[in-house]
Amino acid sequence: MKIASAASALPEHQYDQRVLLAALRDYWGARLDNPLFLERLHARVGVETRHLALPMEAYYDIQTWGQANNHWIDAALNLSEKALTLALQRSGLDSSRLGAIFFVSVTGIASPSIEARLMNRMNLPVNIKRVPIFGLGCVAGAAGVARAADYVRAFPDQVAAIISVELCSLTLQHDDLSIANLISSGLFGDGAGVALVAGSEVPCDGPRVIDTRSVFYPNTEQVMGWDISEKGFRIVLSREVPVVVEQNLAADVDAFLASNNLNRAGIGNWILHTGGPRVLEATQAALQLPEGALDASWHCLRKTGNLSSASVLLVLEETLLHRRPSPGTYSLMAAMGPAFCSELLLLQW
């Protein structure tokens, strides 16, 4: 099994972080008890630019969750098409090879789901197995690649696509001045990521998927996720996220690597979800990684913000295109998300 390619698609509406901060400060106005606190939060998230599904002024016209979700459907379909088309082009594979599509998102819902609409738009094979996944949040990009690897292990002559679309701007609660929502307003962005995982009988280039592992942390449901109401998705973002990383990730990674006769010193490349500065710092500390080991993740965070499940796929793309390790190098691809849980993949180039 190999990751044949990865590709991203970002909305055309790109804004400097300072422009978005000014708009939010003006919008909330006197309701903000301490405008300087919002500025400090935005300064700490490590984001320079973000892409939005809609022009910034269009968000003022959204009054209901239904309206926001309709925008999500339109943008998700467009971005999925762009990212999947580019991933196929980069891999040199034809869409007729696709045997399964895993579609993940936690920022909107649709039935028929997005990959079904995409099959119609792109005239994809009618026998593709569709697996829409909702609720995994930030971990879903890595989990989707792992489930795609499970699929092609059973069908080695096929290719499975993982498509992630997260349009976080369409979930922002305009009347929520909680710290979690204020952080969210500065950290999360919009975009899509795609990875193609090819079975062993499909000729392609890319890192081999050696092994995968899922880890669930009991009784951590309130660490991260959504509270869902008639107004849509309200962010749950606990201060405990970095603590959970620090307390669990190293032991889980060590156990996973040991089962493959490896240790952390044997990993030459790290492909990690861009959870935010505190999460990346906690990850680096927990795993005792050398300076520069997470440069690809920091780069993607600065450029796009946290794209939830799509983030790790953008880090994968960045690695494939610009930071490709030498042949034989082992990589660890990982993400963490709601439940709380982690997903680990061992790759070899």
Catalytic residues: 138
> For the stretch 161-177, what's the b/e string if a residue is b when 16 or more beta carbons lie within 10 angstroms of its beta carbon?
bbbbbbbbbbbbbeeee
Those residues whose C-beta lies under 8 Å from the C-beta of residue 118, and which sit 6 or more positions away, are: 77, 80, 81, 84, 101, 124, 163
- Decide: residue 262, CB within 10 A, 0-12 exposed, 13-18 middle, 19+ buried: middle
How far, in Å, CA of 217 to CA of 88, rounded? Answer: 36
Q: Is the CA virtual torsion 144, 145, 150, 153 positive or negative?
A: positive
How far, in Å, CA of 172 to CA of 177, rounded? Answer: 11
SS3 content of the chain, % helix, strand, coil (to 5): 45, 25, 30
Distance, first Cα to last Cα, the chain: 12
Alpha carbon dihedral 197, 97, 103, 329, in 10-degree steps, equals: 10
How far, in Å, CA of 142 to CA of 93, rounded? Answer: 22
How far, in Å, CA of 283 to CA of 310, rounded? Answer: 19
E strand spans, the chain: 2-9, 13-16, 49-52, 98-105, 129-134, 159-167, 190-198, 208-216, 224-229, 232-237, 267-272, 330-337, 341-348
